[in-house]
Structure 1
Amino acid sequence: MSTVPPEFKSLTANDQKRRFQLPQLLHARTGEMTRELLLKPGDHGLGMTPDPMRADTTTTAVCGYCSTGCGLRLHLRDDEAIGLTPETGYPVNLGMACPKGWEALRVLDSDDRATSPMVRDADGKFNKVSWDAALTSFCDRFKEIQSTYGPDSVAFLSTGQIASEEMAFLGALAKFGMGFRHGDGNTRQCMATAVTAYKESFGYDAPPYTYDDFEQSDVLVFVGSNPCIAHPIMWERVLRNPNDPAIIVVDPRRTETAMAAKEHLQLSPKSDLALLYAITHEVIQRGYVDHGFVDAHTNGFEQLAQHVQAFAPDVVSSIAGVSVDQIHSVVDLIGQGKAVSFWWTMGVNQSYEGTRVAQAIINLSLITGNIGRPGTGANSITGQCNAMGSRLWSNTTNLIGHHDFGSADDRAKVAAELDIPVENIPTDTGWSYDRIMEGVRSGKIKGLWVIATNPAHSWIHQDDARALLDQLDFLVVQDMYDSTDTARHADMILPAAGWGEKDGTFINSERRYGLLKKVRKAPGEALADFRIFQAIAHYWGVGDQFRDWTDPEAVFRIMQRLNRGKWSDISGIDGYAQLDRCGGIQWPWSQASAQASHGEGSSGDPAPQRRLFEDGNFAHPDGRARLIVDDVTPPPEPPCADYPTWLLTGRGTVSQWHTQTRTSKSPVLRKLYPNQPYVELHPEDAARIGVSNGERVTVQSRRGEATAAAMVVPTVRPGQAFMPMHYESTNRLTLAHFDPHSRQPSYKDCAVKILKA
């Protein structure tokens, strides 16, 4: 049983929902309580604290839901977790936790946990088999496909949900040991745009901020981001800001975050790039450019200034649906702010031109000199708990450790560190997620290994995705539950341990490595993903290649060697013990940094909050950041006479998570949101189709339809509708189109018609 605050249990479902969604009530619940806890005498801090008088102990581990990376104090009895509370001394959450964190243990006890390997028979039924039989069949089937159709006929889809050490093992095993050229992660669905934007602008995938910046800014700009719901503990950090900051929100919906904003630019869908260029135009026109910083640390300002001349506010106002006065007001707030931070998440990333939108945000941060100082930065908020780990270690978009598959020097370095022939390393990244799915369609991909992700629910244009999964010769799903939408299509299910049942590290949005700890036994024959990869290496015949990959901490040491000298260098971390003692450590922390920190009176530990680019030096060879602009492109599927409504999608409530694979297992979390799909409609649209609040409607797109309850609200504009992404039916509607630079799906916009059911 996980621990739930007593006052929380006494609330009705509606009260609970309001309490965890509204900014002011969120703050009332945890903000002041946190201050009291931090001042409580005798607080034991982090790590394991045994009490010799009893068998009860506590230990701190990082949460396994979102990218915030909160520290949870796990209460143990006989080395088994029996409850949890937020860790008061952890530098991320400072004693706060959202409902998902409170329920993190409960979801491990679900009846649909995968507890033994299962194989589908000729009649379509799953039968339990031994690990020996499953692993033998796994290797035989994939090798047979490679032999028949060529080595490139198999692929894997990874995740932002498993530990960094497991990602590293999977990527190295699949690409260097098993000959899988193609592999990608579900982080392609959430973070690829930010990664691409940072690499092009900064020269490295380098989110520059630390969470302390939430409390140091005097102006915070949220673009396509609703942290009150999507990242509630980050929002708590905003509410702790003593500067009475001006909050600016750019979002088509009047979200919970927008309700707390000084300025809400409620723009028309997919007009964000034009609007940001208009803001940039006015920043330049009104003299708010930090020319000293621009001249010393950037390239491309002249091209930027020329490009945005076509985006004067009076031109963009009608396109974006916001007034010229609003644009001027926002520009003045940004230009006159002393510490301005810019934040974005999926509303930007999941867009057909998201990379350029992200870079428009980065441009504003750079030209105003708002980077490298407390309370500043162009700051992408990650989605999944270890999406950052996937970016560094999964061997998908980068050669493991932030190297380049296309660089002969990088391939040679990695081969030497891993003691493998350099010929084992592919010379390119292989196919992205969307190309893998298209490869299934064309018959080029015949076998697919899916690890801890649920594409039958989450991939764009869901019905098409499910048909493609059924087209495969061999589909293996490795997951902690055997009931996922994707598992229902599988030929084989491998039972995996979940959060709290294995060890390793996660990397959160602010680049902090935090410890994942085993505090429960996995049910039945389920194994940690790490041990499954280890077993597959043995059965495939490459076990000797991974002889040093004995346990997660041994792999962490290998990872430290692999990215030594990179911007993300972690060679100075003194193992898991230091991570535990410090409440996580942000990259970079090199050996040189560690040696320099051992001065007189110093603990030798890094400061708990560190940001990048304080010296104005960026990762491009010339040390300068790049200001990047592009043409604005029209949306691929705007509303029309047959489908007159924009459909927007996004996070529904603080208690839902992704495809609800875990959150739906908690009776407490299920009470905090509607269990059945709903669609937000403006009162004018509801009246036009003749529906009242709560009545059933049918939402139709060119790809499918969904039935939902009408939620009649003024938070969306007329002609627009919103459905939470967590419901299985939402992705029946979405349009499969992609950012050309990042290959990230554009989930946020498509045309639908809504009818009374």
Structure 2
Amino acid sequence: MSALDILKDQLRMRAFDGVLTERLVQDPAAHGLGRLPQSAKPDATVHSVCGYCATGCSLKVHLQAGRAVNLSTHSDYPVNLGMACPKGWEALTPLAASDRATTPLLRGRDGELEPVSWTAAMEAFCAGFKDIQKQHGADAVAFLSTGQIVTEEMAFLGSLAKFGMGIVHGDGNTRQCMATAATAYKQSFGYDAPPYSYQDFEESDVLIFVGANPCIAHPIMWQRVMRNQRDPEIIVIDPRKTETAMAATQHLAIQPKSDLALFYGLAAHLVSIDAVDLDFIAAHTEGYHDFVEFLADYSLETAAAATGLDYAQVSRLARLIASGKRVSFWWTMGVNQSYEGTRLAQSMINLALMTGNIGKPGTGANSITGQCNAMGSRLFSNTTGLLGGRGFECAEDRQTVADILDMPVERIPDRPSLAYNEIIDAIDAGTIKGLWLVATNTAHSWINQKRFRRVREKLDFLVVQDMYHSTESAEIADLVLPAAGWGEKEGVFINSERRIGRTRKVSQAPGQALADFHIFRLIAHHWGCAELFKEWSSPEAVFRILTRLSHGLPCDITGIDGYADLEREGGIQWPFKKTEREQPGHELKAQRRLFEDGKFYHANGRAKFIFEAPRPMPEPVNADYPFILLTGRGTSSQWHTQTRTSKSDVLRKLYPKNPYVEINPEDATALNIKPNSKVCIRSRRGEVEATAVILASVQPGQVFMPMHYRITNHLTASAFDPYSKQPSYKACAVTVHNIHS
């Protein structure tokens, strides 16, 4: 019996509604999802949340004869209000790429990847991982997932791996972008809870962006800032003069990794001039007096000295924070991807708490999320935390989840997974021998890339599940499983402001590619644990399971009655409890923020002041490596490892094809480097070539390279935040020289 026959039998026995099941039986090419959303007609328009960044824009996808032919923007959706960035406009193009994975590929004895049937692929998958577990123990297999697939698939993957396959260790590539924010919020607020609504961009008097470049990374969020009618002050704190800094009212070009000293100096000054909200502090926080004692060694003078800023610049920022107006703090990867990122994020949380700038319009300490579903990953991926933000170590949490899922509690691990970097270390140490990558491109994106390439050779079995057979990770895999992408499956994403929005199937996956959801169902059958997941019959069925799992948690979404609710309301921000929905005269607000009542998620209802002295940069400059390499997003048309954006002719024309490095004119003159010449950038880990771009946007002694090119992470260093375990991509020491000199 073929794997497709097995899938048909599963669908007949357990499956979706009768209409869709009939379609599947009659149309095997649909591979478990049908040609169209159930609600769509052959010529129709459906709304679908974009699958690139965590802004969560809704797009109108236009269907003709059952095929997606075009898209436009959704003017009524409360996120993007009719706007879209270049990536959104080109969202359909990557689906038609010529390098789509259309059949399973298995590496043969000759070392080449060859097409095989799904049956052969499943036999190889199960035999490969089971043999490793039998020989080396259950902990010898791990998985690394993503912030790119829908929430239902994340939950299925984490539950299948941990409860069905006995795999303890699994993490997501959200460890690379959002772990710091999640950890900071958990420690400070008691739960991973970004408090804001996008409306706060428009209602703030003072917006402070730290290590954030929303002009490039989140263009629609920046458009929301531009809609602000309050004549706001926009402060950008960043070593590099980014596009956002150019549009700001003030740019503070600090020295790399000096921001923690800056915020402690600002906090000390606010205390010294009594510009703090003592009533809010007394009623809603703990640890403030210890924080004040800690601040005795800090001042505006120490902040200016540490950052290289003029005292007047620091003083002006202090006055703005102390103004009594609506102040909001916003950060992204410049904070998160740091060796002390958790404490840096908390230094902004502390400033918001001590001035009462939280829980009110236009305020907050606000982490801007990166990937389209990083928030879904943080809550429901079941990787380093148990479903819904619970803990694997907690017996009560394990029992609650087991009861809701109707499975033996013994199936649930009693310890958390290793983090991403620890999984890589375990592979290097020889204790993990099998790895399963799902919709993530570790062989491009992981820090200190040469080390990962070396470590990969220690794996007995590497499986890559992806849309494309051409990714750097797929090229070195033993088995490639072809997956459907955005627009080829159903589910929900959770965006930066906690809004749950529906993404729709508008196109048929090519060849034998399956939605990740159905690959997981197929694996469950072949592994022999399908009975545990008999209720997990469709994405919406899983979404309803997740609503039950959320009951009583800060992310409670028991008030959402399936996908129809999300369609009708234009997405719904968590929390949305069933009791809230049942209130007389209830009307769901389009924009909602957390902590309006001053109650936080620690047991005592208070937020915590958390702090720690700044630490030296792990890899400072010296005579041999005199430059600091900064990394970040290059253009609004590029996305991560360019796996999808490179498939669009339109997007490719909007960014440089080849890697480049930005160099200050003073340094270029000293090194005799001309514009557009080839230069060599070398770190302690390797060297790469790039085109020189001479710009004053970087300070002397610093250079900048976009993260999107595969060579960039040949240079970055293996440094990690001790609390979030997030890599410190943003600063390492390099040398630069003219290749022809």
Q: TM-score per shorter chain, which class?
A: over 0.9
Paired position in structure 2 for 1:676:
658
Paired position in structure 1 for 2:352:
365
Choose which of 214, 222, 233 in structure 2 pairs with 1:246: 233
Identical counterparts, % of pairs: 59
The offset of 1:686, in angstroms, is 0.3
The offset of 1:470, in angstroms, is 2.4
Task: Give the letter aligned to residue 677 of structure 2.
Answer: E
| Aligned-partner Cα distance in 1 for 2:594–2:356 | 14
Question: What SS is found at the alignment partner of 2:322?
Answer: helix
Question: What SS is found at the alignment partner of 1:358?
Answer: helix
| Aligned-partner Cα distance in 1 for 2:491–2:129 | 28
| Aligned-partner Cα distance in 1 for 2:62–2:393 | 47
Question: What SS is found at the alignment partner of 2:545?
Answer: helix
The offset of 1:468, in angstroms, is 1.1
| Aligned-partner Cα distance in 1 for 2:661–2:124 | 44
| Aligned-partner Cα distance in 2 for 1:472–1:756 | 38
CA contact (8 A) 2:524 2:530 kept: yes
CA contact (8 A) 2:266 2:303 kept: no
Q: State the Cα deviation string for residues 545-598 of structure 1 (Å, max 9, x = none).
A: 1001000000001111111000000111011001011111000001011111x4
* Structure 1 gap ranges (5+): 1-46
Choose which of 454, 461, 470 in structure 1 pairs with 2:441: 454
Choose which of 160, 164, 168 in structure 2 pairs with 1:173: 160
Paired position in structure 1 for 2:523:
536
Paired position in structure 2 for 1:497:
484
The offset of 1:49, in angstroms, is 9.5
Question: What SS is found at the alignment partner of 2:447?
Answer: coil
Choose which of 512, 532, 548 in structure 2 pairs with 1:525: 512
| Aligned-partner Cα distance in 1 for 2:479–2:567 | 37
Paired position in structure 1 for 2:183:
196
Q: State the Cα deviation string for residues 149-175 of structure 1 (Å, max 9, x = none).
A: 111000000000000000000000000
Q: State the Cα deviation string for residues 667-724 of structure 1 (Å, max 9, x = none).
A: 1000101110110100010011101111110000000111111111011110000000
Choose which of 538, 557, 570 in structure 1 pairs with 2:557: 570
Q: Does residue 712 in structure 1 map to residue 694 in structure 2?
A: yes
Q: How does 1:41-190 map to 2 (within 5 A)?
A: 56-190=43-177
Paired position in structure 1 for 2:620:
638
Task: Give the letter aligned to residue 747 of structure 1.
Answer: Y
The offset of 1:406, in angstroms, is 1.0
| Aligned-partner Cα distance in 1 for 2:336–2:675 | 32
Question: What SS is found at the alignment partner of 1:400?
Answer: coil
CA contact (8 A) 1:48 1:60 kept: no
| Aligned-partner Cα distance in 2 for 1:265–1:495 | 46
Q: Does residue 479 in structure 1 map to residue 466 in structure 2?
A: yes
| Aligned-partner Cα distance in 1 for 2:664–2:343 | 30
Q: How does 1:325-336 map to 2 (within 5 A)?
A: 325-336=312-323
CA contact (8 A) 1:154 1:446 kept: yes
Paired position in structure 2 for 1:648:
630
Choose which of 280, 288, 294 in structure 2 pairs with 1:293: 280
The offset of 1:283, in angstroms, is 1.6
Paired position in structure 1 for 2:683:
701
| Aligned-partner Cα distance in 2 for 1:216–1:476 | 47
The offset of 1:536, in angstroms, is 0.3
| Aligned-partner Cα distance in 1 for 2:40–2:535 | 32
The offset of 1:612, in angstroms, is 0.3
Q: How does 1:409-428 map to 2 (within 5 A)?
A: 409-428=396-415
The offset of 1:301, in angstroms, is 1.0
Q: State the Cα deviation string for residues 356-413 of structure 1 (Å, max 9, x = none).
A: 0000000011111000011111100000000000001111121012111111100000
Q: Does residue 722 in structure 1 map to residue 704 in structure 2?
A: yes
Root-mean-square deviation (Å): 1.1
The offset of 1:337, in angstroms, is 4.3
CA contact (8 A) 2:375 2:495 kept: yes
Task: Give the letter aligned to residue 147 of structure 1.
Answer: K
Paired position in structure 2 for 1:686:
668
CA contact (8 A) 1:48 1:59 kept: no
The offset of 1:460, in angstroms, is 0.2
| Aligned-partner Cα distance in 2 for 1:122–1:595 | 62
Task: Give the letter aligned to residue 338 of structure 1.
Answer: K
CA contact (8 A) 1:60 1:71 kept: yes
| Aligned-partner Cα distance in 1 for 2:596–2:306 | 37
Question: What SS is found at the alignment partner of 1:471?
Answer: coil
Q: Does residue 231 in structure 1 map to residue 213 in structure 2?
A: no
CA contact (8 A) 1:698 1:756 kept: yes
Structure 1 outlier segments of 4+, above 3 Å: 47-51
Question: What SS is found at the alignment partner of 2:582?
Answer: helix
Question: What SS is found at the alignment partner of 2:457?
Answer: helix
Q: Does residue 345 in structure 1 map to residue 324 in structure 2?
A: no
| Aligned-partner Cα distance in 1 for 2:208–2:563 | 36
Q: State the Cα deviation string for residues 588-642 of structure 1 (Å, max 9, x = none).
A: 001011111x41xxxx552110000000000001100001110110011000000
| Aligned-partner Cα distance in 2 for 1:115–1:445 | 29
Paired position in structure 1 for 2:548:
561
Q: State the Cα deviation string for residues 37-68 of structure 1 (Å, max 9, x = none).
A: xxxxxxxxxx99989xxx53111110000000
| Aligned-partner Cα distance in 2 for 1:49–1:541 | 34
Q: Does residue 392 in structure 1 map to residue 392 in structure 2?
A: no
Q: How does 1:605-620 map to 2 (within 5 A)?
A: 606-620=588-602
CA contact (8 A) 1:49 1:58 kept: no
| Aligned-partner Cα distance in 1 for 2:84–2:198 | 15
CA contact (8 A) 2:554 2:575 kept: yes
| Aligned-partner Cα distance in 1 for 2:492–2:241 | 36
TM-score (norm 1): 0.92
* Structure 2 gap ranges (5+): 1-36
Question: What SS is found at the alignment partner of 2:621?
Answer: coil
Q: Does residue 430 in structure 1 map to residue 417 in structure 2?
A: yes
The offset of 1:287, in angstroms, is 2.1
| Aligned-partner Cα distance in 2 for 1:48–1:231 | 32
Paired position in structure 1 for 2:17:
none
Q: How does 1:586-601 map to 2 (within 5 A)?
A: 586-596=573-583, 598-599=584-585
Question: What SS is found at the alignment partner of 2:315?
Answer: helix
Question: What SS is found at the alignment partner of 2:143?
Answer: strand
Q: Does residue 303 in structure 1 map to residue 285 in structure 2?
A: no
| Aligned-partner Cα distance in 1 for 2:109–2:290 | 63
Paired position in structure 2 for 1:29:
none
Q: State the Cα deviation string for residues 189-236 of structure 1 (Å, max 9, x = none).
A: 000000000000000000000000000001101011010100000000
Q: How does 1:440-451 map to 2 (within 5 A)?
A: 440-451=427-438
Q: Does residue 377 in structure 1 map to residue 346 in structure 2?
A: no
TM-score (norm 2): 0.94
Q: How many residues align?
A: 703
CA contact (8 A) 2:261 2:302 kept: no
CA contact (8 A) 1:218 1:337 kept: no
Paired position in structure 2 for 1:213:
200
Paired position in structure 1 for 2:718:
736
Question: What SS is found at the alignment partner of 2:372?
Answer: coil
